[in-house]
Structure 1
Amino acid sequence: MSCFETIQAYGLRSLGIGERLLPREGYDLCQQFTLIGSGLIWNVYFAAIALALGFALATLLAVGKRARSAWIRKPCDWFVFIFRGSPLFIQFFVAYQLLVLLPRDGVTLPLGLFDLHVGTDWVTRAWAGAALVLFFNTAAYTAEIFLGALRSIPRGDLEAAEAYGITGWQRFRRIQWPTMLRLAWPAYTNEAIFLFHATTLVFFSGFPAFQQRGDALYYASYFAGRTFNPFVPYPIVAFYFICLTLVLTWTFGRIGRRLNRHLPTNETRRRRPRILPQIIR
């Protein structure tokens, strides 16, 4: 089988498209690069879902931690404390054990006029359960980043907003939230990179791979076990994640420059150097 045929057969195997069985012989570089790259789709899925949903929840948690009401502030404090204080690896196992306790037939919710039946067998799959854990974990860490940024907003900006009659939700939307993003974006970029790397822990968690459709580390472990040579598949995983980190750094850098487009940059500050004669005393 040529390399092009291997890519056609195994390029989207992690999504159930292509060959159903893993290769039993050969184990050349093309097979390893193709299958590990196919599993990387799930790592990108886990990180993208967790980042998108965690960003919204983190904003609510950061605002909630600054609320005056203890009924709002305390639950937010404990949520952040639990998910920041416990290891992510343990969170995967605890979440899986709790989700397994749900009834296999589903849960019926009485809504008065009708009953709503919700299936629960899907929550023990990695695509749902692991994504849920990553979502809560990154929301807790990002909430602390956003909280620090909210506390660092210059008081003069808030006083100027009040002087113009901008208060309440309008002040948060137009003054506090954009300033919070600008201040927190470098640290949030590091959190996004860490989250992409943390998706490899899904392989070691209790969430099983469905029909041998695992993430990048799942296929790397498969090749390492068949060839007894871990120094080929695992560096391939590292290579893919380095490429992802470069893409993330570039993307978040562009967004950061967009958020700070009103501020002078080094290019705008740079002036044409003047040639001064050397004065010898």
Structure 2
Amino acid sequence: MTCWDTVQAYWLRSLGFGENALPLTNISLCDQFVLIGSGMLWNLYFGLLALSLGFVFAVGLAMAKASRNKWIRKPAEWYIFIFRGSPLFIQFFLVYFFITTVLRGSVDVFGLFTIPTAWLANAWAGAALTLFLNTSAYSAEIFYGALMTVPKGDLEAADAYGITGRDRFFRIEWPTMLRLGWPAYTNEAIFLFHATTLVFFSGFPAFQQRGDALYYANYLADKTFNPFVPYPIVAFYFIILTLVLIGIFGLVNQRLNRHLPSHQKKRIRLRPQLIR
């Protein structure tokens, strides 16, 4: 089988298309690159879904934590504390245990109707939910810190011009909060995509050997008895993904800081730390 045949057979293998059987012997370097690259589709799915939904929820949590009403502030504080204080790997197990043991496939709502919940035990739903809950807590703390550091002068100027309530938030506090918190949020996005490698090593099983990049790397390491090829390939793919994220988030950062003088703009750059 040529490398092009391998691409056609396995590049969508993680989604259930193409060749059903995984290679057992004579596994080439091309086989490993293609299979691990196919698994990266799951990592992209988990990361993009959790990041997009978590961003909206995180902003709401940050506003709730900044609220003066303790009935709104305290639940947000405890939510952020619990999900930031416990390991993500344990959260995967707890969510899977809750779905399979407590919900048990369905939830009866006051005897009126039943809501099916068995689909949540699948990785595409339950694992994505766990990542969403986790990144929302970390992102909310980032945005809360940025919200608390909005310059007092900006708020006083808004009051002087009669800008209050919702208009003040969306015209003054919201853009300033994003601008101040965006570099830290970029790091959270990178860490979130790296955390997607834990999905199929936690309680969520891989259906018909359809896993992510690390799942296939582990499979290939077992079959070739050489972990020094597949795992560096996983690292290579994630380094490329990190560079793409830095580029995209850097463009957004430039947009958020477009009104500032050039010497005050904070650029997001890749700066490897060679000496610690």
**Fold equivalence (TM over 0.5):** yes
Q: Does 1:194 align with 2:191?
A: yes
Cα distance in 1 for residues equivalent to 2:81 and 2:52:
21
Match of residue 185 from structure 1: 182
Separation (CA, whole Å) in 2 of partners of 1:12 and 1:260: 39
Aligned to 1:275: none
Q: Which residue of 1 aligns with 2:230?
A: 233
Q: Distance in 1 between matches of 2:233 and 2:249?
A: 24
The residue aligned with 2:155 is 158
Q: Look up the match of 1:106.
A: 106
Check if 1:66 corresponds to 2:62: no
Q: Secondary structure at the match of 2:19?
A: coil
Matches of 2:180 and 2:24 in 1, distance apart? 52
Aligned to 1:34: 34
Q: Deviations over 1:252-274 (max 9, x none)?
A: 00000011111111499xxxxxx
In structure 2, distance between residues paired with 1:210 and 1:260: 45
Aligned with residue 254 of structure 1, among 242, 251, 260: 251
Q: Which moved more, 1:243-252 or 1:19-28?
A: 19-28
Task: Tell me the secondary structure at the aligned position of residue 67 of structure 1.
Answer: coil
* Cα distance per residue 1:228-252 (max 9 Å; x no partner): 1000000000000000000000000
Write the mapping of 1:1-281 to structure 2, written as runs, cut at 5 A. Answer: 1-109=1-109, 115-266=112-263
Matched residue SS, 1:117: strand
Distance in 2, matches of 1:24 and 1:226, equals 7
Q: 1:140 to 1:164 in 2, by over 3 A?
A: same
* Partners of 1:201 and 1:124 in 2: CA distance: 16
Deviation (angstroms), 1:108 = 3.6
Q: Work out the CA distance in 2 between the residues paired with 1:116 and 1:6.
A: 49
CA RMSD across the alignment: 1.5
Percent identical = 66
Distance (Å, rounded) in 1 between the aligned partners of 2:184 and 2:232: 27
Q: Which has the larger radius of gyration?
A: 1
Q: Which digits, 9 at most, give the CA deviation of each residue in 1:11-32, with x for residues without a partner? A: 0111111111111222101110
Native 8 Å contact 2:135 2:192 kept in 1: yes
The structure-2 alpha-carbon separation of the partners of 1:239 and 1:186, relative to structure 1 and needing over 3 Å to count, comes to: same
SS state at 2:186 partner: helix
Deviation at 1:109, TM superposition (A): 3.0
Greater mean alpha carbon deviation, residues 117-126 or residues 180-189: 117-126
Q: How many residues align?
A: 265
Deviation at 1:106, TM superposition (A): 2.0
